[in-house]
Structure formats: structure tokens, C-alpha cells
Amino acid sequence: MAKEKQFAILGLGRFGRNVALTLEEMGYEVLGVDKDENIVADLAEHLTRVVSFDIRDARALDRVGISNFDTVIIASKNLESSLMATMLCKERNIPEIVVKAIDERHAKMAERLGADKLIFSERDTARRIARHLGSSRAIDYIELDTDINILRLDVPQKFIGKSLGKSNLRSDYDVDAVAIISNGKTIVTPSPDHVFTAGDKIFIIGTPAAISKFEREIE
């Protein structure tokens, strides 16, 4: 099984808070950072670790081991803070730097400073973004409601050459395949006899917990 991703969220406003809490619910280690001590105190029992400091402080970032994280999500509403944090993370060779952009100008500057992904979404899509970031395989993640989600992904290597029925999605992972794209054709409610081939894409439906478990066990 692959090493679990570790996430740091810099800025715990409405967006950052929702992303951090969703990733934590999925079982990932999450560091939350915000200069507002009241926000930090409020989240202390909900995140793996949460600390208070100015994200423009390079020494403070080093003290929390920011360079050890796989993904840093910079969600500050302050333009200067966001850009400085982006630059500092780039200097520390963070594998994935995600920036919540205030506007197009901010997005362009952040990209020049090293941002790998840019997000314009607010709280209504924060949960979907967190699910997508938490997956190394997801092509898309659709949240139908808080209890049922659909994950679209490339067929896992371990299923290639096996039929849908023998993949034991329901018995082993508590999820179901609701559709398959194979050879350019979309198959809705696929037959258990369908044999997966390289290049197939599958749509998996299940609870957030079941889908998260499925993703971890197929790594």
C-alpha cells in the first residue's frame, strides 16, 4: 500500500476549514495553519495538528516541517500572504502546491511563483475538491449528497483481464460500478461478464468512507 498523503492547509477561513475537515474525515493527516488563534482553538480537536502563525513567516513554516508535506493548499484571502506562502512553498520543493485564487490576476501571479493547481471555488465545492486532491487516481469526483458519491477513475491495474463480477467490488469494497467507458463506448449498468481492459474508465458509487477505503486498497 502506498504511503498516505499528508496535507497542510494554510489559511482556515470558510474554504480552508471545509477542505481541512473533509480531508481529516477521509483519514488523512492534516496540518491546519491560521494566524487567528480563535480559529485555531476552535479546530484543535478536529484536525491532526493545528497551529497559529503568519504564513509569510519562513521560519515558522520550517518549524512545522512544511517541506515534509505532499500537498500544501494555500487558502488565505490576503493576496500578499497567499503569494508569499506560494513562493516559500516552492522554495521548499513541495510536490503539489494548490492555491485558492482571489481573481485572475492573483491566479497568474501564483502560477508564476510556482502554484501547481489553481482553485476559484467557494465552500459549496470545497468538499469535492478535497476528495479529488485526496485521490491519486480520480478523474472526477461527484458528490450526490453527504452519503452517496460517485468516483470516475481509470480501471485499476489489478482488475485488468478480470470480469466485473470477479472483481468483487461489492463484497470486498462495498461499492458498485454504475457505468464503464470501454473502447469509446459508455456502458450503463454494465454486465458482470464485462472484462476490463487497459484504458477502461469506471464509475464507482458508494459512501464517502467506502470509496476512500476502495482507493486505498487498490493502490
pLDDT in tens, 60-107: 999 999 999 999 999 998 999 999 999 999 999 999 999 998 888 998
- pLDDT, tens digit, 9 for 90 and up, residues 160-176: 999 999 999 999 999 99
Question: Do residue 121 and residue 154 come from a single domain?
Answer: no
Question: Do residue 24 and residue 93 come from a single domain?
Answer: yes
Which pLDDT belongs to residue 127?
Answer: 53
pLDDT at 126 over 80: no
pLDDT at 142 over 80: no
What is d(CA 94, CA 50) in angstroms, rounded to the nearest whole number? 19
Count of alpha carbons within 13 angstroms of residue 89, beta-carbon side: 32
Mean pLDDT, residues 176-183: 88
- pLDDT, tens digit, 9 for 90 and up, residues 44-60: 999 999 999 999 999 99
Burial of 58 (0-12, 13-18, 19+ CB in 10 A): middle
Could you tell me the three cell numbers for 27?
483519514
Region for 148 from its dihedrals, namely left if φ exceeds 0, alpha if ψ lies in -120 to 50, beta otherwise: beta
Backbone angles phi, psi at 28, to 5 degrees: -90, 155
Residue 203 lies in a domain: yes
> The CATH number of the domain where 52 resides is what?
3.40.50.720
CB distance 29 to 50 below 8 Å: no
pLDDT at 121 over 70: no
Residue 1 lies in a domain: no
What is d(CA 122, CA 29) in angstroms, rounded to the nearest whole number? 23
Which pLDDT belongs to residue 109?
Answer: 95
Domain count, the chain: 2
Question: Do residue 101 and residue 191 come from a single domain?
Answer: no
* pTM assigned to the model: 0.60
Question: Do residue 173 and residue 195 come from a single domain?
Answer: yes
Which pLDDT belongs to residue 219?
Answer: 67
Q: Considering 133, 164, 186, which residue would you say is the last residue of a domain? A: 133
DSSP 26-60: TT-EEEEE-S-HHHHHHHTTTSSEEE---TT-HHH
Which pLDDT belongs to residue 123?
Answer: 39
- Give the structural domain span for 161: 139-217
